[in-house]
Chain A
Amino acid sequence: MKNDRNSVSNGTVVKSNSGMNGHHGYGHPMIQRQPSRQCSTEMYDLSCKVMLIGDSGVGKTCLLVRFKDGTFLSGSFISTVGIDFRNKVVEVDGAKVKLQIWDTAGQERFRSITRAYYRDANALLLLYDVTNKNSFDNIRAWLAEINEYAQEDVVIMLLGNKCDVAGERQLRREDGERLAKEYGVAFMETSAKTGMNVELAFMAVARDLKMKKTRKPNEPQFNVADYVDQEKSTSQCCSS
């Protein structure tokens, strides 16, 4: 999988550092000291691609809109067609990290298309809906797909969304935890409606990517799963 590859970013072609030493050589977040002219007038130190994936209707767009604009898209169900793109610059320990977020459509017919973009992603937020068992059952298939198409060092975070809905919950938090442990990915429950853990999900990703970039060889590796476990909040209703 270590082929030389170009990633297009901000209209300029940037060679990814495929020849770099160290185990994180391939697929590094690209350093862009130059301020970007378009999309955002903000300056940033590094940028990375985050993809939101998961079955249709689990709340990917809602999660993103909550993170980006701090609002909740209630009311009618707006399903994404293809891939939507949004930018947000966040700050991690004084460094500006630009998150380029790809919000994908969950429907089956888009699988083969969105799959093509996995390999460019530095982080994948994989969502299921705690009130929909089916969306949870499909997580294994999603993970298999990620395994096949994404970069080896991609950051994967499993998110059980809609955890504010107490009555219709079909999955316990433990179910998600067990699955995440099995696959060695980070996990938490989120709510786009209340905002619980939403910020954390994206910030943990940004932090991980920043750490990968700036870590000295003798420093311990940043573990996003541990970090998330430490930071995440668990609402009362979630423990059953």
Chain B
Amino acid sequence: MSDLKEAEHQNTSESSDQGEFLEENAPGESENPMLIASDSYENLNYEILDGTSTAQRQTPNTESNETSTGEESNNEEQTETANDVAKKKQEIVPVEEDHDDVNSEHWRSQSKHIFILSEAGKPIYSRHGSEDKLVTIMGVMQALVSFVGDAKDSLRCMIAGDHKFVFLVRDHLLLVGVSSGMDSTHQILLQLTYVYNQVISVLTQSTLCKIFKQRRNYDLRRMLSGAEKFFDNLINLMDSEPGLLLGAVRCLPLDGSVREIIAQSIVQHAKIKDLVFGLIITNNQLIALVRIKKYYLHPMDLHLIMNLVNASESFKTAESWTPLCLPKFDSSGFLQAHISYLDDSCNTCLLLLTVDRESFFTLSDCKSKIKERLLKYNALRAISDSLQKTAYGIQQCGINDLRHFLYKSKSTAQYTSPELEAPYVTQKEKDRLFGLYKYLHHRIHTSGRPLKILFHVGPYETLLGWVTQGFELYAVFGPLVTKTSAIHAVNKLLRWIKREEDRLFILNSVTF
């Protein structure tokens, strides 16, 4: 984080030299979106808060100021408590036995930990180390939360040194995220929400609640066995895929006509009663989505679908039929998913989601017909070509000194970004770049003082973030760019995206 503590110039109001741009007609905007529009991640957080106690809602921003490294900043009651318990925690950890995971250097040096435990303090999942060995530390977490909870308050975050501890309590589960990286507390909270949603996706919320209502000290690992890979994969995805941070999905670049053929293939051959969504995805990117008229897919749910496909090798070997809960769509029940790959190299995956548990063979039939039609129109070839070409490079935008960007169209909940190129080729540099985006995103969405435009000069690059009604843009320039030229470059970039929008975004929502 230290390299970010450079001089910053911020502009909270739009000044004349960048005001000219098309706010009412943002590139990639659609009147007719297929995904639920996602505004900013703040909304998600308030939703989280709504789900819990009212005490939290009164103080929606307990996040401590980023500039004070380490020491808790504010004078709020709960942060003080957090301070106390943080000290307590530091005392407790060293007394544990030597052979315990917690004391190993390897475990301690991990930059992000995610824990899930039950309300009763039983370990359910830990990203690093075996949760069995972490019983003690999970007990401490549970104690911290219930200690603060006793005072009719709730523990939301603690900051100790360069570690942030974020807590989320939902439906008998306690989720804890610990990060020493660039993530803000809000961002960690969002990640915990994703992890919680993943639990729901596997079990449904009603099952989860029923289990713990019957037995408060149930060992949930029994029900989640085999699902660990979904958590691991999801958390790794959050460390590398900006879509989860932005609440947006990336589409595979394809010609509009090809996309139309693909969507129509689904419409024609899978128009079946009780089929809710038909979609084709590849490599964390969306190719086509067809939905029943009155239902929309939330980008968070789509990320869980992508995670399911990504994390499971078994779909590659046979047609699968699996229950799947989409928490934003309906957290109380399962949809039944027919999952199959359309190509031999297992890149292009078709999912047909239905409420009819008996329709496997019907859908299997649909799949064959869809595949036939896609082959006939060379659409599968177009997909694999696009995959091999690797989206697009930053040069194609033709803008000097622009190194990389993320552009999210809010109304369609989709984003686009070029491939990572030098200097962002090593894992370390990739992580650093993503860290910069997290920082920029955090600064812009700080709930106490949301910004429209942020110009930030760092030692290695200059960042420009710009948020309007229609879009969010995060751009990374070389270090010597001036504010004026950056703004000009960004305007030029927006025009480029506008020209390419048909290829980069799915603008038409196709329904059955």
**Which A residues lie at the B interface, using CB under 8 A?**
8-11, 38-39, 56, 61, 65, 76, 78-86, 103, 105, 107-110, 113, 116
Q: Cβ of B225 and Cβ of A56 under 8 Å apart? A: yes
Give min CB distance, A125 to chain B, whole Å. 16
Give the CA-CA distance A38 to B361 in the complex, in Å: 10
Interchain residue pairs with CB less than 8 A apart (15): A8-B358, A9-B361, A10-B365, A11-B361, A38-B365, A56-B225, A65-B317, A83-B320, A83-B321, A84-B319, A103-B318, A105-B226, A108-B223, A109-B224, A116-B357
**Chain A residues within 8 Å of B321, by CB:** 82-85
Partner of A78, one of B227, B314, B360, B365: B314
Q: Please give me the 6 A-B residue pairs with the lowest Cβ-Cβ distance, nearest first.
A: A82-B322, A84-B318, A11-B365, A107-B226, A78-B313, A83-B321
**A85 nearest CB across to chain B (Å):** 5
CB of A78 within 8 A of CB of B323, answer no
B312 contacts partner chain A, Cβ-Cβ < 8 Å: yes
Most interface-central of B203, B226, B364 (chain A CB within 10 A): B226
Shortest distance from the beta carbon of B324 to any chain A beta carbon, whole Å: 8
A109-B322 in contact given A11-B365, A80-B314 (Cβ < 8 Å): no
Contacts of B323 in A (CB 8 A): 82, 110, 113
B78 at the binding interface (Cβ < 8 Å) = no
Q: Using CB atoms, name the residue of chain A closest to B369.
A: A38
The reply to whether A82 and B320 contact each other, CB–CB distance below 8 Å, is yes
Most central of A78, A80, A103, A116 by chain B CB within 10 Å:
A80
CB-CB nearest in chain B for A76: B313
Given contacts A108-B222, A109-B224, contact A8 B313 (CB under 8 A): no
For the complex formed, measure the closest distance between the CB of A152 and the CB atoms of chain B, giving whole angstroms: 21
Q: Contact at A109–B202, with CB atoms within 8 Å? A: yes
With both chains docked as a complex, state the minimum distance between the C-beta of B31 and any C-beta of chain A, in angstroms.
Answer: 37
Question: 1/0 per position for B300-315, CB-CB distance to A under 8 A?
Answer: 0000000010001111
> Apart from A11-B362, A38-B368, what are 18 other A-B pairs with CB-CB below 8 Å?
A8-B359, A61-B317, A79-B314, A81-B226, A81-B312, A82-B322, A84-B314, A84-B318, A84-B319, A85-B364, A103-B318, A105-B322, A107-B226, A109-B203, A109-B226, A110-B323, A113-B323, A116-B357
Q: A93 to B104: give the CA distance in the assembly, Å.
A: 64
In the complex the two chains form, what is the Cα distance from A8 to B272 in whole Å?
14
B317 touches A78 (CB 8 A): yes
In the complex, what residue of chain B is closest to A86 when comparing beta carbons?
B318
- Kindly provide the distance from the CB of B237 to the nearest chain A CB, expressed in whole angstroms: 17
Q: Bound state CA distance, A160 and B323, in angstroms?
A: 28
Q: Which residues of A contact B358 (CB under 8 A)?
A: 8
Q: How many residues belonging to B are interface residues under a CB distance threshold of 8 Å?
A: 32
Chain B residues near A9: list those with CB within 8 A: 361
B319: A residues at CB distance < 8 A = 84-86
In chain A, what residue has the closest Cβ to B372?
A38
Q: Which residues 387-443 of B have a CB within 8 angstroms of A?
A: none
Which chain A residues border B223 with CB–CB below 8 Å? 108-109
**A103 to B358 alpha-carbon distance, docked (Å):** 16
Q: How far is the CB of A106 from chain B (nearest CB, A)?
A: 8
Report Cα–Cα, A61/B229, bound state, in Å: 18
Closest Cβ of chain B to A174, distance in Å, is 30
Give Cα A38–Cα B372 distance, bound, in whole angstroms: 11
B291 CB, nearest partner CB in chain A, Å: 22
Q: How far is the CB of B198 from chain A (nearest CB, A)?
A: 13
Chain A positions within 8 Å of B357 at CB level: 116
| Residues of A contacting B320 in the complex (Cβ-Cβ under 8 angstroms) | 80-85
In angstroms, Cα B323 to Cα A38, docked, is 24
Using Cβ atoms and an 8 Å threshold, which residues of chain B touch A107?
A: 225-227
- Minimum CB–CB distance from B360 to chain A (whole Å) comes to 7
- Taking CB as reference atom, which chain B residue is nearest A109? B223
Contact with A along B338-364 (1 / 0, CB 8 A): 000000000000000000011111101
Least Cβ–Cβ distance between B219 and chain A, in angstroms: 11
Closest residue of chain A to B360 (Cβ to Cβ) is A85
Instruction: Tell whether, in the assembled complex, residue B226 and residue A56 are in contact, meaning their CB atoms are under 8 Å apart.
Output: yes
Determine whether the beta carbon of A81 is less than 8 Å from that of B314: yes
- The residues of B that contact A116 with a CB separation of less than 8 Å are 357
For B319, the closest partner residue in chain A by CB is A85
Which residues of chain A come closer than 8 Å to B368, judged between CB atoms?
38-39
B360: which A residues are within 8 A, CB to CB? 8, 85
CA distance A65 to B226 in the complex (A): 20
Residues of B within 8 A of A81 (CB): 226, 308, 312, 314-315, 320, 322
Q: Known contacts A79-B226, A107-B225, A109-B223; is A84 also within 8 Å of B361 by CB?
A: no
| Chain B residues, CB < 8 A from A80 | 314, 320
In the assembled complex, the CB of B318 is this many whole angstroms from the nearest CB of chain A, namely 4
As a 0/1 sequence over residues 73 to 99 of chain B, the CB contacts with chain A under 8 angstroms (1 = contact) are: 000000000000000000000000000
Q: How far is the CB of A134 from chain B (nearest CB, A)?
A: 13
- B313 neighbours in A (Cβ, 8 Å): 76, 78
- How far apart are the CA atoms of A82 and B323 in the complex, in Å? 6
Q: With both chains docked as a complex, state the minimum distance between the C-beta of B313 and any C-beta of chain A, in angstroms.
A: 5
Given A107-B226, A109-B203: A85 in contact with B365 (beta carbons within 8 A): no
Closest-by-CB residue of B relative to A79 is B226
* Chain A residue, CB-CB nearest to B321: A83
Residue of A nearest to B202 (CB): A109
Which B36-57 residues have C-beta < 8 A from chain A?
Answer: none
Contacts of A11 in B (CB 8 A): 361-362, 364-365
By a CB distance below 8 angstroms, the chain B residues around A105 are 226, 322
Interface centre among A56, A81, A84 (most CB of B within 10 A): A81
